[in-house]
Structure 1
Amino acid sequence: MNPKIRIVNEEILSDNWYVLKKITYMSERKDGSWESRSRESYDRGNGAAILLYNRERQTVILTRQFRLPTYVNGNESGLLIEACAGLLDNESAEDSIRREAEEETGYRVANVKKIGEAYMSPGSVTEKLHFFAAEYTPAMKVGEGGGVEEEQEDIEVLEYPFEQAIEMVKEGEIIDGKTIMLLQYAQLNRLLDPVPRQQHILIAGPYRSGTGDDPNLIRRNIDFMNETALRVYEAGHLPVLGEWYALPLIEKAGSRKIGDEIFNRIFHPSAVRLLKHCDAVLRIGGSSQGADEMVREALGMGKIVYRDLNEIPQVRF
């Protein structure tokens, strides 16, 4: 807890829908004196939001529903175009957003990727929002969506071309904060860029890290990366390890031991050269400065970075 903040009193002003409190607290000033302040805090729990996108069709799924607070604050229709979202309701964020996606849009998504968290209105509302993205296909549609009738939800499901959704943000047709954030994340991270039918994927994981240069532990790391490479191959892609190229070259160049001048001159630079000819990097395993550097290099080159085997799409022959 922050030692410069002391909660003095909490008074419940309303618990009709969620909980509105008046909180009195003391805060320490720069000169060391203490000052009393009062603020109102609205606690509606934490929430989650998700952007459903389809690379092949270049589309996103959004929703439209009536939002009373916007209606009384200048939104003439009260209707708001949004990404699917909802409160956690004592579930994990991932479980909650899977349920919300099916209830609101009718799609039962498979691989859900968390992309961040944010406080949306920190001056008055406690809510932290968990952000997700997931690729959808027509085969994942298991219902019509529209929300839960018992909760008086009346939600329209919308499917837009991604570029149109981005243009709607520019034109002020999409003015919901979380939705703008998700769409811009998708744009910046090129989520809807077409995936090549087959990718050349560099496996980046710990080689020496945490081994103390014990050859048995190094072999264990190599075996793990080789097993991962096999799974990437079975998914239809072309895997490669920097070690496959660097180690024979290092030996041929006359290196006497791991970490000598010849080893250091060849090991990492050869992987960077190799990366230039790869489509993506798969970061696996534990701590590794070299693997993390490869990820940074990949991002700087505009390559795809995977952090889990499940993120890698199966090749469609």
Structure 2
Amino acid sequence: MANGPRLTQTDVPSDVEIVSAETPYDGYFRIDRYQLRHRLHDGGWSGTMTREVFERGHAVAVLPYDPVRESVVLLRQFRVPALAAGKAAWQTEVVAGIIEAGEDPEAVARRETVEECGLEARDLRLIHHYLVSPGGTTETVRLYAAVVDSTHAGGTHGVAAEHEDIEAVAVGFEQAQAMLADGTIDNAPAIIALQWLALNRESLRRRHGIT
């Protein structure tokens, strides 16, 4: 797991002071605990606060879109945190994977598209690079759209050693939007990607010679 280094005073701007820093847990993920203070909007300094930061590394996510067949490829897989949050344990998602140390994000996006749905990602386009939960974790996601040929999309995919059991299915654009509207899709990468596609679908189709 490509976790970043713990913050030191040299890493922060002059309006932040790190009083102390420690790492109470360092396993597959890491938790850093900071005591710090910062300048206030109306002048002066805040009191010293204690904050834990979940250091998870960074990820990519990919929406596979077939402009010829007007379909997207979505995945269903079991997620323990979703179950613990009271949401559907089998989440309807887009392709996603962790960026390991030294890896190129676009290369990871292409690899994960093959691993998780068996398709080649073409015309990879960055939708956004966003913070997942800035109040709790350093994790960011580079979210892409990729053009694919969904003719033979389907089946079960994933890396068995990582306990991945991923069902891939091609659904029409309108059906995917309906799943977004009725709450079937309720995770951020898929929501953001499908909303982006709704705004950019026609330009993507024109880009690939479809009118």
TM-score (norm 1): 0.58
Asked if 1:119 is matched to 2:131, the reply is: yes
- Structure with the bigger RCO (C-alpha within 8 Å, sep 6+) is 2
Aligned to 1:313: 208
Aligned to 1:10: 21
> What's the secondary structure of 1:35's corresponding residue?
coil
What is the number of equivalent residue pairs in this alignment? Answer: 197
C-alpha distance in structure 2 between counterparts of 1:79 and 1:188, whole Å: 27
Asked if 1:188 is matched to 2:199, the reply is: yes
Report 1:50-65 matches (<5 A): 50-65=62-77
> What's the secondary structure of 2:184's corresponding residue?
coil
C-alpha distance in structure 1 between counterparts of 2:26 and 2:203, whole Å: 43
Q: Which of 108, 113, 138 does residue 120 from structure 2 map onto?
A: 108
> What's the secondary structure of 2:63's corresponding residue?
strand
8 Å contact kept, 2:73–2:150: no
Q: 1:66 to 1:139 in 2, by over 3 A?
A: closer
Instruction: Please report how far the alpha carbon of residue 16 of structure 1 lies from its aligned counterpart in structure 2 after TM superposition.
Output: 2.5
Identity %: 31
TM-score (norm 2): 0.85
Instruction: Please report how far the alpha carbon of residue 93 of structure 1 lies from its aligned counterpart in structure 2 after TM superposition.
Output: 1.1
Q: Which of 135, 144, 165 does residue 154 from structure 1 map onto?
A: 165
8 Å contact kept, 1:48–1:132: yes
- Segments of structure 1 that go 5 or more residues without pairing to the other structure are 196-311
Asked if 1:42 is matched to 2:54, the reply is: yes
Q: 1:180 to 1:138 in 2, by over 3 A?
A: closer
Q: Which of 188, 194, 200 does residue 177 from structure 1 map onto?
A: 188
Instruction: Please report how far the alpha carbon of residue 43 of structure 1 lies from its aligned counterpart in structure 2 after TM superposition.
Output: 0.8
Residues 15-39 of structure 1: per-residue CA shift (max 9 Å, x gap): 2220011111121223323521111
Residues 281-310 of structure 1: per-residue CA shift (max 9 Å, x gap): xxxxxxxxxxxxxxxxxxxxxxxxxxxxxx
8 Å contact kept, 1:14–1:20: yes
Q: 1:67 to 1:138 in 2, by over 3 A?
A: closer
Instruction: Please report how far the alpha carbon of residue 313 of structure 1 lies from its aligned counterpart in structure 2 after TM superposition.
Output: 3.4
Cα RMSD for the two superposed structures: 2.1
Asked if 1:87 is matched to 2:98, the reply is: yes
Q: Higher helix fraction: Structure 1 or Structure 2?
A: 1
Residues 216-272 of structure 1: per-residue CA shift (max 9 Å, x gap): xxxxxxxxxxxxxxxxxxxxxxxxxxxxxxxxxxxxxxxxxxxxxxxxxxxxxxxxx
Which has the larger Rg? 1
Aligned to 2:45: 33
Counterpart residue type for residue 19 of structure 2: V
- Segments of structure 2 that go 5 or more residues without pairing to the other structure are 1-11
C-alpha distance in structure 1 between counterparts of 2:137 and 2:34, whole Å: 13
Runs of 4+ in 1 over 4 A off after TM superposition: 138-141, 191-194
